[in-house]
Chain A
């Protein structure tokens, strides 16, 4: 158990509303990631963080922003949710103590439905 939790686990919202998903870790991992998982596409990287206040875009970052104000928390924000952002979102962590081999530990996922 890598000590990673996501909240909320399920959310239904309407198009145009802002949504924030939270990822919290207790293991002092340096790297944190947000992925989305959709049928036929596997897991696609949205944004990642390599330290406090250090973030960068992944392959599907449009419409998403992130923030990491402390090591433990990585927030994913949808400024104005669209139906195409209906998905299951996974947070992942790696690099305990700053080191790492890219091996990821995942949270249980947050299922978001945008109506």
Chain B
């Protein structure tokens, strides 16, 4: 059972375009993370959002946590070829240990 659904699964856009990736769940999480993974490497944490409604910005990337802490979005402004990669959201539940559940991933290709 996949608790976190990401959309779209694949995205190919031209350099300079904007895009949004969505991460949805029916479950409530104590926090939500976004990772980026490049081919042949492990995922690397980009950001953690903790509070419902929270918005965090990382240069051209804007992350938002839904008010009910069940969903999140990642918006990239003026995409660059260096943004190419697999984007993964991950929901965290606490209690005993920090259980981290990953979404299905969004593969982004930015064409120069």
Contacts and interface: CB of A to CB of B under 8 A. Distances in A.
Interface string B79-112: 0000000001010101011111111110000000
A60 B22 CA distance: 25
> Lowest 9 CB-CB distances: which A-B pairs, in order?
A106-B42, A102-B98, A102-B92, A43-B102, A42-B104, A42-B102, A50-B97, A42-B105, A106-B43
Contacts of B101: 45
B28 interface: no
B8 to A, nearest CB: 14
B88 A42 contact: yes
B62 interface: no
A100 B98 CA distance: 8
With most chain A CB atoms within 10 A of its CB, the pick from B41, B42, B100 is: B42
A48 interface: yes
B33 A43 contact: no
Size category of the binding interface on chain B? 20 to 34
B86 to A, nearest CB: 9
Given A43-B88, A109-B40, A101 B31 contact: yes
Given A42-B105, A108-B41, A101 B88 contact: no
Interface in B38-63: 40-45, 48
Contact of A106 (B40, B44, B98, B99): B44
A104 B31 CA distance: 13
